[in-house]
């Protein structure tokens, strides 16, 4: 009995004939399936059958066939080991038992039948008869092994269609059943074998009876149940087969495979076992705000916007760089800078996409592309950008190079390659993609008909006459990047060459973004390309190259990224390294590998999905592990691989709420191409121009300018974590609203509190206590501590202290008791997607008369436009009350209807007297009697003024007959009458300037606004009326001057142009070197000018005791009518208006 049972999958003669597999077997008919190349070759032969061609779903996968071969191999090994350990003669004895049980004739018949179905090759090829073979064979135990092996394979339902290779169906009759029964009886009576002392037959059937109904589960069963009995090489083969099965379970087919899967937030498991290697930030790094631009798309957009040639980098306008700097952007990441592999474009053209360029990530060489102006254009752009406070950023894609890169031509040894195609079905008959005569590059044919994404391409070396197969770049998530070639990081020369390339790029730009950086972490290099046996399956055909962790670590001792960080810190220290990394490695990249910044995709994905509890958990876990990681996250609302920001967040309050978080959280804000403009198109890496001709959403841009850019310009306040606190918002009953993000930060004496509600709902609650964070200054490992809001804002509570602050979003200012903030916290009431950024916190001591306490109680938490103004309003409240006593809707309506009389005036006199006395205390007139006499004259005139509305249509115009407008006119005139003498009894330039100043100082606008509101006058006319009142009060002396009434039209208008209030109201502005005015404002102003003139003339008569005549002074009237008439043809141009009225 041989010590080793013959190995190989015994194929039936029919299968060998049908599939023309004679050259794949040994003389006995066993297929030697020792490597997966041989397995794939046999599977490919099976799949060429007409049956499979008509029904492709019947195709045999190599992993499935390999699993069957491994099961057969394990069975044969167990038989060998049984004989070695229990009974070396067992197989011969079993055959003797068959002979005795069946009889000589029966045994010979059974033997002949078996060898007819499973003939040796000489028999199948008719070089020998079955009888001759049977008569010449020796009793060596091989027959027993083959009988058992074939029976086990046919008994296993998991084998499936592969049973066609060793179908024992023709053997099944009474005699065959008796053969199997005899063997079972023999081994049942023989000594037991195996973990539980079972018989050899029971052990051989264990994977069928107890291992489940799939080949995967049966192999796993053998690994766990019998792994200790199997030799290392067989166990390794079993694990490799499991890996191949895993590879086949993944979809590497068009149109795109399964994709990257759900987002996994950062994880810190086992990270505390790693040493800390944080890289120190240079002074500019914490304030960095990055914006991405697809360079070809951006240049096209700039050409359209500026209507001039902008093709090269040095042609990018200074206006654009200035705009970025003014927005608070300090880093410009241009995607697609490098010279690209032309093959990428050809592949896309051959695939039916003609209007593209090569992919930005299929790189020929790391030099600035010629069509962008090369290095010279880059240097000019970089210098100009720095003048605007903007540093340049560039991509690197260290995982791979373009399929026809310079390295592929000159250094093929740097890439992942093999000497044979991984799948026999692969063919490479397409066009040569190389434009270098030294090599040929051929994609696998199935890529073009979209039937297989293909993992390798063929490289032919014409100089040396060699052919090799190179792997495409791949991250194992969906399908290969077919215009790239994968670099081999187990090769130290490759690693050093890439590091040298990184150092060279660092000389060109301040910020380097590493695409797909996580693929080059040691454990993922191994997982993807050299998987540990039993853990593979990420990339098809790589399971065969599996290595133990120990072997892998011997070859690659250090993390590649650790080497990069150390070399850059030494040779290019003014460089920020930014890693695009996922797979829960964010913390590892910045804390252990030393990258300055790392992508935080959870920010975008979780906030877009409103998984607010999930993202708060990310923040809390980061703070509890090490807050320093939080300040190194790159937060973004879209990136080149994702949908645009407006597609994910819209353009409303949710967008701006999340944008505010991005701008105010620790870390690095990164803005996507087109995000600020509200563009909806997602730009591919191969776009040579935008597909859509989009214009910026001006409303969106303006809101960015108002709400987001000021925050970006103050990034230093928000970027750090030394004073950062995240808070719970308690809504009552100890319930925390997980949809509210509330956090504070502090830098020096500046503090900020940000509150955002990321849900379409309403909520309210108190902010007081922070979540726990690890204070690294306490002990060796730090200590989890919590703090209160007062500490976070740097407050020192005292009963006599109050805190004022401003909401950046609304512009409102607030005041709170410092004790309340410390003890109860900060109460917020939030609507859907409400956002607040509270800034400018200032502690103030209360005054002796309790002014701040009274204001706090008065406002009750309400915001106001200005705390200082509100304090002044509170002080002015007695004066305002007196103004409101005389500026009443009833009085205005009486004047407007002509119903005002002496009785009304009698009722007003004591109120006017009180107003004058109070106004004197606030800096107004001290001649109360003179004031009362002057107002009585005004009243007398206004009683008669209603007649002017009918007698002077030339200067009343559109106001006539409009009840609301009439009320507005008389409200304005009555306010003018009451206020004018408060600056001085006699109309003069001095008294006019005084009351104009007091109008603002006393905030009478508030009283007037309330009056107009009660008269149903809307906001815009109210504002205009108050502007006209200012003009009338400040120019009372000029308006009452007879020289003014005598001015010619041109002189009158020129005088108005010299007055600031008049210029503002008339909308005087210069555009295209032309001075313009606003037509409607002009008409309205002329009507009021006439009214003021009529009032001034009537008041002179009233003071003289003459009969009051309500009429516009003749000269003034003539000039106004002339100006109104000329305005109709002046086309709103000042010069044309003046020319038409010049004498």
How far apart CA 1126 and CA 1141 sit, in angstroms, is 7
**Burial class, 1081, CB count within 10 angstroms (exposed 0-12 / middle 13-18 / buried 19+):** middle
Average pLDDT over residues 712-726: 96
Residue 259: CB partners within 8 Å, gap ≥ 6? 477, 478
- Judge whether residue 630 has pLDDT over 80: yes
Average pLDDT over residues 10-25: 90
Question: What pLDDT shows up at residue 732?
Answer: 80
Using an 8 Å Cβ cutoff, are 139 and 171 in contact?
Answer: no
- In tens, the pLDDT along 321-359 reads 999 999 999 999 999 999 999 999 898 888 877 778 889
Helix H or strand E encompassing 873 = helix 867-886
Average pLDDT over residues 784-793: 96
- Judge whether residue 262 has pLDDT over 70: no
Question: What pLDDT shows up at residue 908?
Answer: 93
Using an 8 Å Cβ cutoff, are 1141 and 1123 in contact?
Answer: yes
- In tens, the pLDDT along 418-430 reads 998 888 778 999 9
Residue carrying structure tokens 């399929």: 403
How far apart CA 903 and CA 915 sit, in angstroms, is 19
- In tens, the pLDDT along 52-90 reads 777 777 788 888 999 999 999 999 999 999 999 988 999
Using an 8 Å Cβ cutoff, are 33 and 9 in contact?
Answer: yes
Give the start-end residues of each E strand in 523-657: 576-579, 597-599, 633-636
**From the CB of residue 690, how many other CB atoms can be counted at a distance below 10 Å?**
19
- Residue ranges of alpha helices (H) inside 275-326 are 295-306, 318-326
Using an 8 Å Cβ cutoff, are 678 and 649 in contact?
Answer: no
- In tens, the pLDDT along 913-959 reads 999 999 999 888 888 999 999 899 988 888 888 666 544 444 444 45
- In tens, the pLDDT along 648-659 reads 999 999 999 999
Question: For every residue of 690-721, which 3-state class applies, written as one string?
Answer: CCCCCCCCHHHHHHHHHHHHHHHCCHHHHHCC
Question: What pLDDT shows up at residue 4?
Answer: 54
Pairing, β 363-368 against β 391-396: unpaired
Helix H or strand E encompassing 400 = strand 400-402
- In tens, the pLDDT along 452-474 reads 778 999 999 999 999 999 999 99
How far from chain centre, in Å, is Cα 476? 22
Helix axes 601-608, 612-625, angle to 10 degrees: 150
- Judge whether residue 23 has pLDDT over 80: yes
Residue 618 confidence class, pLDDT cut points 50, 70, 90: very high
Average pLDDT over residues 173-194: 89
Two structure tokens written together for 634: 């790159």
- Judge whether residue 759 has pLDDT over 60: yes
Pairing, β 484-486 against β 511-514: unpaired
Average pLDDT over residues 727-754: 95
Average pLDDT over residues 284-310: 96
Question: What pLDDT shows up at residue 570?
Answer: 96
Question: What pLDDT shows up at residue 260?
Answer: 44
- Judge whether residue 699 has pLDDT over 90: yes
**From the CB of residue 1042, how many other CB atoms can be counted at a distance below 10 Å?**
12
How far apart CA 553 and CA 309 sit, in angstroms, is 54
Q: Greatest CA separation found in the chain?
A: 157
How far apart CA 455 and CA 479 sit, in angstroms, is 8
- Judge whether residue 1097 has pLDDT over 60: yes
How far apart CA 824 and CA 758 sit, in angstroms, is 24
Residue 371: CB partners within 8 Å, gap ≥ 6? 311
Residue 271 confidence class, pLDDT cut points 50, 70, 90: confident
How far apart CA 472 and CA 456 sit, in angstroms, is 6
Give the start-end residues of each E strand in 1017-1104: 1069-1071, 1074-1076
**Domains in the chain, please, with CATH?**
9-249 (no CATH), 289-579 (3.20.20), 600-678+693-859 (2.60.40.1180), 871-1141 (no CATH)
How far apart CA 787 and CA 780 sit, in angstroms, is 21
How far apart CA 41 and CA 310 sit, in angstroms, is 55
pTM: 0.80
- Judge whether residue 615 has pLDDT over 80: yes
3-state secondary structure of 281: coil
Which is it for the CA torsion 352, 357, 358, 361, positive or negative?
Answer: negative
Helix axes 1004-1014, 963-979, angle to 10 degrees: 150
Mean pLDDT over the full length of the chain: 91
Residue 250 confidence class, pLDDT cut points 50, 70, 90: low
- Judge whether residue 257 has pLDDT over 70: no
Pairing, β 801-807 against β 813-817: antiparallel
Average pLDDT over residues 752-769: 97
For 5-25, letters b (16+ CB in 10 Å) and e give bbbbbbbbbbbbeebebeebb
Residue 58: CB partners within 8 Å, gap ≥ 6? 51, 52, 161
- In tens, the pLDDT along 102-132 reads 998 999 999 999 999 999 999 999 999 999 9
Instruction: Identify whether 255 is preceded by a cis peptide bond (ω within 30 of 0).
Output: yes
Helix axes 1079-1104, 1019-1034, angle to 10 degrees: 50
Question: What pLDDT shows up at residue 951?
Answer: 46
How far apart CA 1048 and CA 1043 sit, in angstroms, is 10
Average pLDDT over residues 886-909: 91
Question: What pLDDT shows up at residue 887?
Answer: 93
């Amino acid at each position: 009995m041989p010590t080793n049972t013959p190995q190989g999958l015994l194929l039936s003669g029919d299968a060998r004939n049908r599939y023309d597999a004679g050259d794949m077997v040994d003389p006995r008919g066993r297929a030697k399936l020792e490597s997966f190349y041989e397995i794939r070759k046999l599977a490919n032969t099976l799949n060429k059958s007409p049956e499979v061609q008509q029904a492709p779903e019947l195709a045999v996968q190599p992993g499935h066939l390999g699993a069957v071969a491994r099961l057969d191999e394990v069975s044969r090994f167990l038989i060998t080991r049984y004989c070695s350990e229990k009974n070396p003669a067992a197989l011969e004895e079993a055959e003797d038992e068959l002979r005795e049980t069946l009889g000589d004739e029966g045994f010979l018949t059974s033997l002949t039948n078996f060898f007819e179905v499973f003939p040796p090759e000489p028999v199948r090829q008719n070089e020998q008869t079955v009888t001759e073979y049977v008569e010449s064979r020796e009793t060596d135990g091989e027959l027993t092994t083959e009988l058992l092996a074939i029976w086990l394979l046919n008994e296993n339902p998991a084998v499936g269609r592969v049973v066609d290779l060793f179908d024992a169906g023709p053997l099944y009759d009474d005699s065959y059943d008796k053969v199997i029964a005899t063997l079972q009886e023999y081994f049942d009576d023989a000594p037991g074998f195996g973990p539980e002392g079972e018989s050899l037959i029971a052990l051989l059937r264990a994977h069928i009876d107890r291992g489940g109904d799939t080949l995967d589960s049966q192999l796993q069963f053998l690994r766990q149940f019998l792994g200790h009995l199997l030799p290392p090489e067989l166990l390794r083969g079993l694990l490799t087969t499991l890996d191949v099965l895993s590879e086949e379970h993944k979809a590497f087919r068009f149109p795109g495979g399964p994709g990257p899967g759900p987002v996994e937030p950062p994880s810190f498991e086992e990270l505390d076992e790693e040493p800390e290697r944080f890289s120190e930030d240079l002074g500019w790094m914490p304030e960095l705000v990055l914006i991405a631009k697809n360079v070809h798309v951006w240049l096209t957009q700039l050409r359209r916007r500026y209507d001039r040639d902008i093709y090269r980098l040095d042609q990018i306008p200074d206006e654009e760089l200035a705009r970025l700097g003014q927005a608070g952007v300090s880093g410009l990441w241009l995607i697609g800078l490098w010279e690209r592999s032309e093959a990428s474009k050809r592949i896309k053209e051959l695939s039916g996409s003609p209007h593209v360029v090569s992919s930005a990530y299929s790189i020929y060489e790391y030099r600035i592309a010629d069509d962008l102006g090369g290095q010279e254009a880059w240097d000019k752009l970089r210098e100009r950008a720095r003048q605007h406070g903007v540093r340049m950023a560039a991509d690197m894609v260290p995982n791979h190079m373009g399929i026809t890169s310079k390295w592929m031509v000159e250094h093929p040894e740097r890439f992942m390659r093999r000497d044979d195609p991984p799948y026999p079905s692969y063919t490479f008959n397409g066009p040569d993609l190389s434009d270098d005569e030294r090599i040929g590059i051929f994609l696998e044919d199935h890529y073009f008909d979209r039937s297989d994404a293909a993992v390798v391409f063929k490289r032919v070396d014409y100089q040396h006459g060699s052919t090799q197969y190179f792997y495409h770049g791949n991250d194992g998530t969906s399908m290969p990047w077919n215009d790239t070639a994968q670099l081999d990081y187990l090769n130290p020369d490759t690693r050093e060459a890439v590091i040298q390339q990184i150092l060279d790029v660092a000389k060109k730009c301040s910020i380097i973004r590493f695409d797909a950086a996580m693929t080059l972490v040691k454990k993922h290099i191994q997982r993807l390309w050299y998987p540990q046996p039993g853990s593979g399956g990420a990339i098809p055909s790589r399971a065969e190259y599996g290595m133990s962790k120990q072997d892998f670590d011997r070859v690659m001792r250090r993390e590649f990224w650790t080497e990069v960080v150390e070399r850059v810190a030494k040779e290019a220290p003014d460089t920020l390294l930014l890693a695009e990394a996922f797979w829960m490695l964010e913390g590892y990249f910045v804390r252990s590998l030393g990258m300055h910044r790392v992508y935080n995709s959870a920010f975008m994905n979780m906030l877009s999905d409103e998984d607010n509890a999930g993202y708060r958990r990310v923040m809390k876990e980061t703070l509890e592990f090490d807050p320093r990681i939080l300040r190194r996250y790159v937060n973004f609302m879209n990136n080149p691989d994702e949908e645009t920001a407006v597609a994910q967040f819209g353009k409303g309050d949710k967008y701006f709420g999340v944008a505010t978080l991005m701008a105010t959280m620790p870390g690095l804000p990164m803005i996507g191409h087109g995000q600020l403009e509200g563009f909806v198109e997602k730009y591919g890496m191969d776009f040579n121009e935008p597909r859509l001709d989009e214009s910026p959403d001006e409303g969106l841009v303006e809101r960015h300018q108002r709400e987001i850019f000021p925050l970006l310009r103050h990034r230093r306040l928000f970027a750090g974590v030394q004073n950062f606190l995240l808070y719970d918002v308690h809504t009552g009953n100890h319930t925390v609203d997980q949809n509210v993000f509330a956090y504070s930060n502090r830098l020096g004496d500046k503090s900020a509190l940000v509150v955002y509600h990321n849900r379409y709902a309403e909520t309210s609650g108190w902010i007081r206590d922070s979540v726990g964070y690890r204070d690294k200054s306490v002990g060796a490992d730090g200590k989890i501590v919590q703090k209160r809001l007062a500490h976070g804002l740097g407050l020192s509570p005292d009963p006599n202290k109050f805190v004022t602050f401003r909401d950046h979003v609304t512009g409102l200012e607030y005041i709170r008791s410092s004790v309340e903030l410390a003890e109860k916290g900060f109460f917020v009431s939030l609507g859907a997607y409400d956002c607040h950024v509270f800034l400018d916190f200032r502690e103030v001591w209360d005054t002796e008369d309790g002014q701040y306490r009274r204001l706090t109680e008065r406002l009750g938490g309400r915001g106001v436009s200005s705390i200082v103004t509100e304090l002044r309003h509170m002080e002015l409240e007695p004066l305002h009350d007196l103004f409101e006593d005389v500026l009443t809707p009833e009085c205005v309506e009486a004047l407007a209807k002509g119903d005002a009389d002496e009785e009304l005036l009698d009722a007003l006199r004591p109120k006017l007297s009180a107003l004058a006395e109070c106004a004197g205390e606030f800096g107004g007139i001290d001649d109360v009697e003179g004031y009362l006499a002057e107002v009585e004259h005004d009243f007398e005139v206004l009683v008669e003024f209603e007649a002017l509305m009918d007698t002077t249509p030339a200067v009343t115009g559109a106001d006539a007959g409009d009840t609301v407008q009439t009320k507005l006119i008389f409200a304005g005139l009555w306010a003018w009458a009451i206020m004018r003498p408060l600056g001085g009894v006699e109309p003069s330039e001095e008294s006019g300037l005084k009351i104009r100043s007091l109008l603002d100082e006393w905030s009478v606008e508030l009283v007037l606004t309330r009056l107009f509101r009660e008269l149903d006058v809307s906001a815009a006319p109210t504002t205009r009326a108050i502007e006209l009142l200012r003009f009338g009060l400040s120019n009372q002396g000029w308006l009452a001057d007879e020289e003014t009434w005598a001015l010619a039209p041109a002189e009158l208008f020129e005088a108005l142009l010299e007055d600031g209030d008049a210029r503002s109201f008339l909308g005087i502005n210069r555009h295209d070197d032309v001075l313009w005015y606003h037509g409607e404002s002009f008409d309205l102003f002329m009507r009021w000018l006439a009214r003021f003139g009529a009032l001034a003339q009537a008041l002179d008569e009233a003071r003289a005791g003459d009969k009051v005549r309500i009429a516009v002074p003749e000269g003034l009237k003539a000039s106004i009518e002339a100006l109104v008439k000329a305005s109709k043809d002046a086309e709103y141009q000042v010069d044309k208006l003046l020319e038409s009225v010049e004498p």
